[in-house]
Structure 1
Amino acid sequence: MNPFRRIYAFFHKNLLTKTMAIGIILALMGTTCLVRLADIQLVNGKSMAQAAAQSRTTSVTLKARRGKILDTNGAILAQSVERYTIIGNPEQAQAFVPTTCTKQTGDNCHQINGKPVGVTGAAAVARLVAPVLGMDATELGAMLSISGQYVVLKKDVTPAVKRKISKLNLGGIVYAELSNERLYSNGSLMGSLLGGVNSDGKGVAGVEQMENRTLTGQDGYQVYQQGNSGVEIPGTMTESKEAVNGSDVTLTIDRDVQWYAEKVLHDSESKYQAAWGIAMVQDVRSGDILALADSDTVEAGSDQAKMGASRAVSETFEPGSIGKVLAMSGMLQLGLHKIDDKFTVPDTVTADGQSYKDAETHGAEHWTLAGILQQSSNVGMILAGDKMTNEQRYDFIRKFGVGQDTGLNLPGESEGVLYPADSWDARTRNTVLFGQGYTVNVMQLTNAVAVIANKGVRKPQRIIKSITDADGHVEEQKPKSEATRVIDESVASQILNAMESVSDYYSNFVKVDGYRIAAKSGTAEVAGTDGRLSSIISDYSAIIPADDPRFVITVVLKDPQGSFGGLTAGPVTAQIGEFLMQKYEVPASAPRTDAIPVTW
């Protein structure tokens, strides 16, 4: 055979073999693909589709908004506003490749000031996002370079910033979660009293803590599938529950009265060089607290506001001679004396082996019981209380609310201290007659004086006026306890009359033109920082107008220059009283014609 023919036959045979081999391989591959396709579509198609859907399914929390805190007239004191937390996905950020902007891409691309991003990965994401968040790109890049799929980039950004983030075409890499920011529009007004919330939005001090359950809403959720951009795929939502916002809390506090009380406290702190001051205003008729102020300057919602209670709530002190109102009311109620009974009062007395003296030296004065209150005589109170047992003294002090929970439930409130009568020593049994040997807070003291203004009845106090739920339903908040009679109306009237004589005594320093005032001053020696009786509490509690009581005002100053409550706390009380008369347009008082004699 021709050599060339043998060579051709060899190659032809081998080519045919190779072709057949390739054909067989292709046939096997085709068969495998068909089998795999049949398996996917006919056998495992449903389960794989479910797995794919599950991988795209996400659950998103719908944040409930915390309720507002408002004053009695509807002025907003605290509210939550729409804010967002910006979240990054580090794993996706590190795999990010920017899309160059062309006519074909339209707006679905990435650029910085019209120029390409220039880098890839976390650095590229950081360059895009940093200007919008006002952050350093290097710092942001480091945050996105960690392992994991979740990192908080920035909290409490505004809706405007959130919209800018959404336009960066970084869905699934950088996105926003709805949150709320707590705002206090009045700065330090009621700062410690309002308190604040922690990073989780939970009230941790003040009214925010006290009403946390009411103010807190219930979060909702949505379950849906999201695409590669992180956006919801239309029609894939399978489950949802709407968020229910928290209820609004309306206080009895009048923002204007609170503001003025805080202002005059700050002024008096400077004028009298006092260590601190407290002021409270209570509506006689309702028991509502219109102002509960102190001189501390604390921004509402600040760390300081979250760490402690308002001084007006937590501070306790001996009431001093204001306590004479309580003891003298008991003497009249028990029938031990009449308000015009006559006493010869020296400036010193010894009782139960203990010596006592009045604040000022004087001779043997001819005072009635009303005069003893007017002149604030400690010696006179001991003489008048001679037949009053320890148990009777204790019972009447307690009936006025001393040593008891006010029912306000304010965080940090102390009940004060009133020891049982059987634990008193020979000195304490007499000092309680003039407001020493027990302690009160300003709420207790103000409500005790309000008993006299309210014809002998002690009404429960209130600082929460109403609750308004997310649907707008308003529920008036009633005190948990009932009003109780402490003394007869006639006794209250006599004490009120005597207190008006006290006010007349201080009229050169404490007055509101056109209005009669019934008041009592107090000055008590208390322990100072050295542990000795080196500090002074000066206080003054006033009922205005005396002829038709509307308000009780109490002011307490620590270590003021001038010491006596009538000369320091008294003028501050009058300032607040004048403001109240003008604000509430209270009619002027009728002239006084029924003064009980104070001397004989």
Structure 2
Amino acid sequence: MAHRVRDWFRARGIDAFAARCIAVGMILVIVACTCFGKLIQVQLLDGQATAEAATNSRTSKVVVSAKRGRILASNGTVLAQSVERYNIIGVPDAATSFTPVDCGTKQAKALGYCHSIDGKPVGVSGAAAVARLLAPLLDMDAMELGADLNGTNQYVILKKDVTPQVKRAIDKLNLGGIVYGELSSQRVYAENTLIGALLGGVNDDGSGASGLELTLNKQLSGTDGYTVYQRGNGGEVIPGTVSKTKAAQDGSDVTLTIDSDVDWYVKRVLAEGVASSHAKWGIAVVEDALTGEILALEDSDAIQAGSSEAKASASRAVSQTFEPGSIGKVPALAAILQNGVHKIDDHFTVPYEYTSEGQKFHDAIYHPDKRWTLAGILQNSSNSGMVMAAEKLTSQQRYDMLTKFGIGQATGLNLPGESRGVLGTPSSWDGRTKNTVLFGQGYTVNALQLSRVVSVIANKGVNRQQSLIKSVTDKNGKPVDMLNRSAARVLDEKIANQVRNAMESALEEYKGVAGVNGYRVAVKSGTAEVVGSDGSLSSIIADFAGIIPANDPRFIVTVVMQDPDGSYGGTTSGKLFAKIGEFLMQKYDVPNSPARTDAIPVEW
């Protein structure tokens, strides 16, 4: 082959030297063409991908966390809020190649910063050096930190929920690109046990776990945003490289109808009352008679919101059910009057014991035959009298009135753990239950339902929906009214006023204990025996509910205790009712009541 090439050159008069030059030139052309082709491939074909890869290696997407909305009391007290916190993030890949800058060196002067521990050189490099600098601020062991930072990962959480002060101190360590703070938040609650179990708590991810935190999770939760930008070698943001951003939308603030001042006082009265009477537990509700707003909803349990116990427990104030006892005579009396079976001043001769359909019923305390009106039967809380007066009241009429008063019905507040109690249908009642429901036995309620029963009388026969949520802020931070104003008439106004009049007379027996000086009060007490697991009557529920002032209803106060010394609701829970009632009259500066002049006769 080489001979043919030489012969070809000689035939054309080209000597050997010239031939060699031409060959070398051809080889160079081939090399140049190859390089040029590769350059075209890199620049035109692969250039975009290479540039994108380089950009991607520098690009970071940082989540901008949304703040969870606050839960506030109606008077502005913050019951739950999320405070600024940071998760401290380490980049092990960067930490392992870290070399500290010794102070006083030319490098330190050129960079404008250096690294030291108590004025002395760090002494090591890599992850161990980063750990030594960081450990005192995080209050962690340097060796443990060093182990976390030793590797090739790009992300490791070193510590959660540090304060902004700690985060700023870490920023001053000049560890950009190695350690940084990622905005987070921590849920904190009022430093007391106000409605602790009712508020509930949040999970580790900040979402609602129990209580109102769970029920209101949709309103309280925000939407996270993000920022996309490029980082320099030191971890700093390269100016002008922010390419995408989405602002975080914080969660809505929720304002409850709870007045923290009232709730605090009710909590204190309950705690002292339960302790002094050696009761197992106590519950109290304060309701605005005009609007249905719940101003206080407390129990004697000492559960702090956000605690493990709060996340595992429902509020006793909404979950505990019980037989109401003689407070159940209120809807029974309303049914008798509303259905025209009797008038409020009809005369009865009431024995201690009365027999109906072969079943015997008796009053709590023995007495000879008494000449009472229907109002007097309520005043004296006579079981025998109620059964006697209701002889012509059908089971369906009894049931209908109970349901209209809210017995056996959900309150509509949608509270976690809330029990609606138990109310059987007329077809399920035996001959005895048909009559025991007239005096609050044979069905169960919670404290909110009991308050609702009395509120119907205070509202002149209208069953007004209770409210616990007052407002929720919209996306512009403006409060949106959330009060539930639905209502339904249950009784004629005249009938409701007659029942209230009889309830005012019912205070007479307990006036020295449950009365509030200067104010007329309409009340009803209850005492119910609780059947134990063995079928025996092993416990007592003592409750007391009333309207204050009776002449111009402003508040409903309900108090329930289990097994207090003294047993009877009027002398036990009634005492706490009086303390709460007096506080409400003073706080809201309610005018004293005029003298009572319209009392319905209770005897004949």
**Aligned partners of 2:45, 2:283: CA distance in 1, in Å?**
80
Residues 461, 169 of structure 1: alpha-carbon distance in 2 compared, 3 angstrom cutoff:
same
Q: Are 1:589 and 2:593 counterparts?
A: yes
Q: Are 1:263 and 2:265 counterparts?
A: no
Spell out the pairing of 1:276-295 with structure 2 (5 A cutoff): 276-295=281-300
Q: Are 1:195 and 2:200 counterparts?
A: yes
**Aligned partners of 1:168, 1:32: CA distance in 2, in Å?**
51
Residues 530, 154 of structure 1: alpha-carbon distance in 2 compared, 3 angstrom cutoff:
farther
Match of 1:357 in 2: 362
**Aligned partners of 1:70, 1:466: CA distance in 2, in Å?**
10
Match of 1:551 in 2: 555
**Aligned partners of 1:361, 1:485: CA distance in 2, in Å?**
38
**Aligned partners of 2:106, 2:34: CA distance in 1, in Å?**
42
> How far 1:187 sits from its partner (Å)?
2.5
Q: 1:84-115: CA deviations, max 9, x gaps?
A: 01111223323322232324324433221121
Q: 1:538 aligns with which of 530, 534, 542?
A: 542
Q: 1:289-337: CA deviations, max 9, x gaps?
A: 0000000001111111111211001111111100000000000001101
Which letter does structure 2 place at the counterpart of 1:262? K
Q: 1:187-244: CA deviations, max 9, x gaps?
A: 2111111111111111111111111100111111111111122221111111111001
> How far 1:36 sits from its partner (Å)?
6.9
Match of 1:422 in 2: 427
**Aligned partners of 1:565, 1:445: CA distance in 2, in Å?**
14
Spell out the pairing of 1:397-416 with structure 2 (5 A cutoff): 397-416=402-421
Q: 1:343-371: CA deviations, max 9, x gaps?
A: 11111122222222111111111111111
User: Any idea what SS the aligned residue of 1:122 has?
Assistant: helix
Contact 1:261 1:279 in 2 (8 A): yes
**Aligned partners of 2:215, 2:164: CA distance in 1, in Å?**
30
Contact 2:96 2:151 in 1 (8 A): no
Q: 1:82 aligns with which of 68, 84, 92?
A: 84
> How far 1:172 sits from its partner (Å)?
2.2
Q: 2:61 aligns with which of 59, 62, 84?
A: 59
Match of 2:337 in 1: 332
Match of 2:400 in 1: 395
Q: Are 1:463 and 2:468 counterparts?
A: yes
Match of 1:11 in 2: none
Q: Are 1:105 and 2:105 counterparts?
A: no
Match of 1:232 in 2: 237
Residues 313, 29 of structure 1: alpha-carbon distance in 2 compared, 3 angstrom cutoff:
farther
Q: Percent identity?
A: 60
Contact 2:102 2:121 in 1 (8 A): yes
> How far 1:122 sits from its partner (Å)?
2.1
User: Any idea what SS the aligned residue of 1:290 has?
Assistant: strand
> How far 1:408 sits from its partner (Å)?
0.5
Q: 2:305 aligns with which of 300, 310, 314?
A: 300
Q: 1:182 aligns with which of 158, 165, 187?
A: 187
Which letter does structure 2 place at the counterpart of 1:330? A
Spell out the pairing of 1:430-441 with structure 2 (5 A cutoff): 430-441=435-446
Give the alignment's TM-score, normalised by structure 2: 0.92
**Aligned partners of 2:493, 2:428: CA distance in 1, in Å?**
32
Contact 1:126 1:141 in 2 (8 A): yes
Residues 122, 197 of structure 1: alpha-carbon distance in 2 compared, 3 angstrom cutoff:
same
**Aligned partners of 1:304, 1:377: CA distance in 2, in Å?**
42
Residues 596, 146 of structure 1: alpha-carbon distance in 2 compared, 3 angstrom cutoff:
farther
Q: 1:12-54: CA deviations, max 9, x gaps?
A: xxxxxxxxxxxxxxx9999999987776556644332221011
Q: Are 1:567 and 2:560 counterparts?
A: no
Which letter does structure 1 place at the counterpart of 2:61? S
> How far 1:473 sits from its partner (Å)?
1.8
> How far 1:474 sits from its partner (Å)?
1.8
**Aligned partners of 1:30, 1:579: CA distance in 2, in Å?**
99
**Aligned partners of 2:54, 2:508: CA distance in 1, in Å?**
87
**Aligned partners of 2:123, 2:360: CA distance in 1, in Å?**
91
User: Any idea what SS the aligned residue of 1:82 has?
Assistant: strand
**Aligned partners of 1:143, 1:236: CA distance in 2, in Å?**
31
Unaligned 5+ segments in structure 2 are 1-28
Q: 1:487-508: CA deviations, max 9, x gaps?
A: 1001011100000001122101
**Aligned partners of 1:213, 1:236: CA distance in 2, in Å?**
35
Which letter does structure 1 place at the counterpart of 2:596? R
User: Any idea what SS the aligned residue of 1:593 has?
Assistant: coil
> How far 1:342 sits from its partner (Å)?
1.1
**Aligned partners of 1:563, 1:199: CA distance in 2, in Å?**
44
Contact 1:374 1:501 in 2 (8 A): yes
Q: Are 1:253 and 2:258 counterparts?
A: yes
Contact 2:469 2:482 in 1 (8 A): yes
User: Any idea what SS the aligned residue of 1:233 has?
Assistant: coil
Q: How many residues align?
A: 574
Contact 2:101 2:107 in 1 (8 A): no
Contact 1:246 1:469 in 2 (8 A): no
Unaligned 5+ segments in structure 1 are 1-26
**Aligned partners of 1:530, 1:295: CA distance in 2, in Å?**
27
User: Any idea what SS the aligned residue of 2:107 has?
Assistant: coil
Range with greater deviation from structure 2 (254-263 or 159-168): 159-168
> How far 1:144 sits from its partner (Å)?
2.3
Spell out the pairing of 1:373-388 with structure 2 (5 A cutoff): 373-388=378-393
Match of 1:514 in 2: 518
**Aligned partners of 1:487, 1:593: CA distance in 2, in Å?**
24
> How far 1:140 sits from its partner (Å)?
1.7
Range with greater deviation from structure 2 (30-39 or 544-553): 30-39
> How far 1:415 sits from its partner (Å)?
0.8
User: Any idea what SS the aligned residue of 2:89 has?
Assistant: strand
**Aligned partners of 2:31, 2:159: CA distance in 1, in Å?**
53
Q: 1:52-86: CA deviations, max 9, x gaps?
A: 01111111111111111111122211111111011
Give the alignment's TM-score, normalised by structure 1: 0.92
- Let me know the Cα RMSD of the aligned residues: 2.0
**Aligned partners of 1:441, 1:29: CA distance in 2, in Å?**
93
**Aligned partners of 2:534, 2:140: CA distance in 1, in Å?**
51
User: Any idea what SS the aligned residue of 1:508 has?
Assistant: helix
Match of 1:370 in 2: 375
**Aligned partners of 2:347, 2:148: CA distance in 1, in Å?**
84
Which letter does structure 2 place at the counterpart of 1:208? E
Residues 169, 537 of structure 1: alpha-carbon distance in 2 compared, 3 angstrom cutoff:
same
Residues 37, 170 of structure 1: alpha-carbon distance in 2 compared, 3 angstrom cutoff:
farther
